[in-house]
A and B are shown apart, each in its own frame.
Chain A
Amino acid sequence: MTLALVGGTHRTVPLDLRERLAFSAEQVTEALNRFRDRFPGREGVLLSTCNRVEFYAAGAEAAPPAEQIVSFLAECRGIDAGLLTPVLAREQDEAVVRHLFGVASGLDSMVLGEPQILAQVKQAWALAQESRTSGPLTGGMFQAALRTAKRVATETALGRERTSIPSVAVADFASGVFERFDDKRILLVGAGKMAAETLRYLREAGGRDVTIVNRTASRAVELAARLAARPGDFTALEAELAAADLVVSTTGSTEPIVSSDLFARVEARRDGRPLVVLDLAVPRDFDPRIGDRPGVWLYCVDDLAAACEANRKSRQRELPAALAIVDEETRRFMGDLHHRATTPVIEQLRAGWSETGDAELERLFRRLPGLGDAERAEIRQAFERYAAKLLHPPLASLRDESRAGPPHGLLDALRRLFDLKD
């Protein structure tokens, strides 16, 4: 039994080549069907995300050679194999398992501990199952990978702290001020890139009442329609600010659009209600002095980026614990895999002993014709128990030996001692 991996990630494959190598879900299915025809009896799972393309292969006897997998991938995507050969990594057996467990747990991701990869790993395995290229080896490996990822997620804080600016803005800061968002008025000023993503997190947190204002009114209307929000009037910004509880500002203005003086007028109309301002524009849309006013919680991109960095460091501190889990699960899986390789020998041994036992029993029953069914059953059970007890020590030794690697020596000894055929 061998496992093989051929693949490249954002670390090893340049972006332009990675874009050409990437597979859509349909292309994955198509590639797996080709793999099944090209390498009958072998198993294969193709994981393709924006940051990685990895082919996991396995075979009861041997996995396809790595170079053939490289050529296969190149052929599927119409790329010269010579371009892929130097950038695609190749792994075998235990290294494949360790790598997949790390990938599923987010340890190999661009953002350490990001959870989306787990869904992508699940999807890759599901596509392989649909294409009937996943068998007992890759199936067991992917199942164990999902279990490992779950352990890493629950036993460490690796994925707990957020690391993207919009998610940190909402989960760590806005949620620190407000208990709920369904009764809050959210104002999006500008139509910057991060507005939509921040709004997505606010919606997840319950935000419903959203107004979008933009210097170009048509852009506000268009964005409001896309984000299921209400378009507002940019010229009435002062009134909108007075009514808002949370402001996300992402304009492309080169000067602050909300000065300290303007805010003083807004503040007088706010009735003392707290205001959270997520100023995600560069340059900033809000005069930073506004943040010194009581009841105003103003965060700019740098503030949020610093919190993201602190969270990233916090994730790094969890890395050793996560790696220990991956290591433990890898050893357990490899032990099971090696033990599985001993199955044919064990079955032969059991069959041989059972055959001999049955023959002896038949001889005994012929010599003792007066035995009733109950006595015969008792004697048969005694024989079976005896055989099981005799077999237990060698089987236990095989299992123990499997934890350290394939038990070739013991298997060979068993074959020779009990005259078992390959």
Chain B
Amino acid sequence: MTAFLSGISVVCFVASYAVALACEASRLVFRSGVRGAVMVAFAAAGLLAHTLFLGWRAVNEAAMPLSSPYDWYLLAAWMLAAGYLYLTVANPRTPVGLFVLPVVLALIGAAQVSSRAAFPQSPATQVWGAIHGSFNLAASVAVALGAIAGLMWLIQAGRLARKQAPLAGFRMPSLERLAAVTARTPSIAAWTAAAGFVSGIVLNAVNHRRGLMETVPWTDPVVLRMGALVAWLVVADALAAAARRRPDGPRTGARLALVSLAALTLSILWGLLAPTKHGQPPVAPAGHEAAP
């Protein structure tokens, strides 16, 4: 059993999600009576492998889900994959996977190029670290869900405006349902991102006092990008709220959700490419050993 669990790799669940995505894409090409079952089976197998992989890392490698950028991305991908599986089982005729699975695969891809080194922790920073990581995770998932719903809204609205009948096997949710998602996610994203930012400041202060990690200056790329992202999400929430009672409110909300995802993507890329002191152990002064 141990050999089996340790043998589960990222390739296992990436391959399963990729097959599920290919099945979703094939809806546009041909009809099949067994495709739904195959799709759900691969998505479920992928999610199971994904869960076991995260569980194995937590138990045997002391890498808790939010303990490193690598694990953070994998947990975000896991949450979206779980949401995808639920939505697909609940709405088998809706091609949710075409929109969700690319984001899941992109997050797993981001995990592969991000640091696997765990953030140094003490009991105090572990709590603040968990709060900081959880809020950022919730914000990212909310932004991704909002953007997925927004994209689906624009596609569905385009079809209805062109007065076209829906494609066989490609029935999108109603505008009303999608608009309900895009109306809720901006607030969730803005508040959780703000909470994540504030808890990050607290975490930084605790780290600074204990000398556990390198102090992150206000000019650090992580602070700048997260600050900019929080600012944008707050503005986007305000704009979406202002547009809500206008006839074009849902369209505005859908577009803002897509811009928010673009902002989040840029922020992630910035984080991956720019040098940062975020999560780095303190640099020992010349001639001294780093504090244990």
Please give the residue numbers on chain A whose beta carbons come within 8 Å of chain B beta carbons, in ascending order.
154-157, 160-161, 168, 172-173, 175-180, 267, 270-274, 293-297, 299, 303, 306-307, 310-311, 314
A172: B residues at CB distance < 8 A: 165-166
0 or 1 for each of B162-173: is its CB under 8 Å from A? (1 = yes)? 011110110011
- Do A161 and B168 have beta carbons less than 8 Å apart? yes
Give the CA-CA distance A371 to B280 in the complex, in Å. Answer: 96
What would 24 A/B residue contacts be, using CB atoms closer than 8 Å?
A154-B33, A157-B31, A160-B168, A161-B168, A168-B165, A175-B174, A176-B156, A176-B160, A176-B166, A176-B172, A176-B175, A180-B176, A270-B247, A272-B249, A274-B176, A274-B247, A295-B249, A296-B247, A306-B163, A307-B164, A307-B165, A310-B164, A310-B165, A314-B165
A307: B residues at CB distance < 8 A: 163-165
B278 contacts partner chain A, Cβ-Cβ < 8 Å? no
- From B165, B173, B250, residue with most partner A Cβ within 10 Å: B165
Give the CA-CA distance A175 to B175 in the complex, in Å. Answer: 9
0 or 1 for each of B65-96: is its CB under 8 Å from A? (1 = yes)? 00000000000000000000000000000000
B251: A residues at CB distance < 8 A: 294
A interface SS class: mixed
State the Cβ distance, A201 to closest chain B Cβ, in Å: 15
Q: Besides the contacts A267-B247, A306-B163, what 5 more A-B pairs have beta carbons closer than 8 Å?
A: A157-B168, A173-B163, A176-B159, A295-B248, A297-B161
> In B146-197, which residues have CB < 8 Å from any A CB?
156, 159-161, 163-166, 168-169, 172-177
B246 contacts partner chain A, Cβ-Cβ < 8 Å? yes
Given B173, B174, B245, B248, which contacts A271 in the complex, CB threshold below 8 Å?
B245
B interface SS class: loop
0 or 1 for each of B250-261: is its CB under 8 Å from A? (1 = yes)? 110000000000
State the Cβ distance, A224 to closest chain B Cβ, in Å: 27
- From A160, A177, A296, residue with most partner B Cβ within 10 Å: A177
Give the CA-CA distance A208 to B148 in the complex, in Å. Answer: 32
> In B247-291, which residues have CB < 8 Å from any A CB?
247-251
- Do B165 and A177 have beta carbons less than 8 Å apart? no
A314: B residues at CB distance < 8 A: 165, 168
B57 contacts partner chain A, Cβ-Cβ < 8 Å? no
Give the CA-CA distance A303 to B169 in the complex, in Å. Answer: 22
B164: A residues at CB distance < 8 A: 307, 310
State the Cβ distance, B54 to closest chain A Cβ, in Å: 34
Give the CA-CA distance A271 to B175 in the complex, in Å. Answer: 17
Give the CA-CA distance A296 to B166 in the complex, in Å. Answer: 19
B156: A residues at CB distance < 8 A: 176
Give the CA-CA distance A271 to B247 in the complex, in Å. Answer: 8
State the Cβ distance, A287 to closest chain B Cβ, in Å: 17
The closest CB in chain B to the CB of A306 belongs to B163
State the Cβ distance, B33 to closest chain A Cβ, in Å: 6
- Do A179 and B173 have beta carbons less than 8 Å apart? yes
State the Cβ distance, A317 to closest chain B Cβ, in Å: 9
B163: A residues at CB distance < 8 A: 173, 299, 303, 306-307
